[in-house]
Amino acid sequence: MQIIREITKKAPYYLTHLIAFTLPLSAKLVSLFVLLFFISVLFAGNYQKGFLKTIKKPIFYLPLILYGFYFVSVFFSENKQVAWFDLQVKLSLLLFPLFVCLHQDFRECDYKKILISFVEGCIAACTVALFLASVKYYFSFESDNFFYTSLSYALHPSYLAMYLVFSIVILLCLFDFNSCTLKTSLFCNKFIRLFIYAFFSVVIVMLSSKSGIFSIIFLILFSLLYLMFVKRKILLSSVSILFIMAVIILLPKIAPYPYSRLKAAFTAVENINNSKKENGEGTSERVKIWRASYRLIHQHPFGVGVGDVKAVLMEEYKNTGMLIAAKKHLNCHNQYLQTALAIGIPGLILFIGMLLYPIYTFLKNKEYLFMLFILLVSLNFLFESMFETQAGVVFYAFFYTLFASRHLPQSKKV
C-alpha cells in the first residue's frame, strides 16, 4: 500500500515529463498523458488549502475567463455540435490552471527538468522525421521528402518549427545566458549545445515554415545582441554574424526549396493588390483570408459564436471568389482574428491582456524565459490559429501554467 501511495503521489510529476516529451512526437500520446495527468491530480490528494486565493491571481484566472467567453458563445452559436467540439479542443486552457492550482506539490516539481524533457522530445522527433524521410528517399529518390509537410510526420511544419525554436530558447536561457544549475545534464557541455542549435536550425529551414524561419532569425539577432552588449563577447558575435551572412548568401544553393517558398511569399505580398485570381500561394492566400476575417469582424464586433466561425468564413470565401480557401475549409490563420471573430472585440482585448500581463510580470521579475515564450507564441499567433488545434492549445496551456506555477503561494498540506 505504501508503494501505491508513493506512485500516486509522484504520478502528476512524472506525467508532466511525459507530456513535455511527447508533445513533438505524437498527438495521441499527448492526449493520453494529459488525461492521466488530470486523473492523477484528483487521486494524489494533497490539495492546496489556499486554492481559492491562488486561483484569483490574474496569471491563473485570465485563461479561465477566456475559456468562459468561449463557453458563453456556445449559446449564441447555431452550430452547437461544432461549438461543443471546439470547447473540447480548448479544454486545456481551463483544466491546466485549475488542476495546477489545486495540486499542492506541483510547484515543487523541478520545472527545468520538465523543460529539458521537452528538448529531448524535440530531438527525438527530429531524429524520427529524418529517418522516415531517408527511408522514403531510398525508395523514391525524391528530395522533397526532406522538406515541409513530407518531413514533419506528426505535426504541421509550423508547429514543429515553433517547438524547435522554443527548445533553442530553453537551452540558451538555462545554460548560456545563466550559470548551469543542471550539473548532470548533457546539455551542460557547450559543444553538445552548439550541435543541437545547428541541428534544430537546419531542421527548421528544412521544414520551410516561414513563421519558424522568422522566429529563428529574431532569436539569433536577440542572442547576438545579448552576447555583444551584455556578455561583451565581441569576437564570437562578429564571427557569428559573418557566418550567418555567408549562410544567407548561399541559401539559394544549399536550401533551394525553403528559399523558393520565402521568395514566393515576398513576391505574393508585393503583388497582393494586383492579384485578381487565386494562385494557391500560401502567403497570398493567407493575406486574403485575413482581409476577409477583418471584414467579418467589422460586421460582427461581438463575435459570431465559437460554433459558427467556420460556417461564416466559408460563406465569405464563396461570396468573394476565394474558392481554394473554401475548398480547404481554412480558418483565419491568425489567432487574434480567430478570437475576435468567435467571441468579439471584448474577447480579443482579454486575449491580448492574457499575453501582456505575463510579459509585464516576468519582465519585472527578470524571468526572461517565460517572457520569450510569450513573445514566441505571440508571433506565431499572427500566422496560425493555434487554439484551433491540440498542437497549439496544449503547448500554450501546458507551458504557460508550468511557468506560472513557480509563483504559487506556499500553503500547508491538508
Q: What per-residue confidence (pLDDT) applies to 411? A: 46
Q: Are 196 and 202 within 8 A, CB to CB? A: no
Per run of 10 residues, the mean pLDDT along the chain (length 414 residues) is 69 91 94 92 72 77 94 93 94 90 67 92 96 92 86 90 94 79 78 88 86 83 75 68 67 66 60 56 80 95 94 93 89 95 96 90 80 92 93 95 75 42
Q: What per-residue confidence (pLDDT) applies to 148? A: 85
Tell whether the torsion through CA atoms of 109, 110, 111 and 115 is positive or negative. Answer: negative
Q: What per-residue confidence (pLDDT) applies to 48? A: 65
The one-character DSSP state at 184 is T
For the entire predicted model, the pTM comes to 0.89
DSSP alpha helix (H) spans, 107-255 = 111-140, 148-151, 157-171, 190-207, 210-229, 234-254
**Is residue 110 left, alpha or beta, with left meaning phi > 0 and alpha meaning psi from -120 to 50?**
beta
**Distance between CA atoms of 118 and 174, rounded to whole angstroms?**
13
**Distance between CA atoms of 103 and 122, rounded to whole angstroms?**
28
Give the domain ranges of the chain: 112-256
- Name the residue among 324, 208, 204 with its Cα closest to residue 260: 208
C-alpha angle with apex 356: 394 to 405, nearest 5 degrees? 50
The one-character DSSP state at 35 is H
Q: What per-residue confidence (pLDDT) applies to 316? A: 94
Q: For cell 556578455, what's the residue?
A: 231
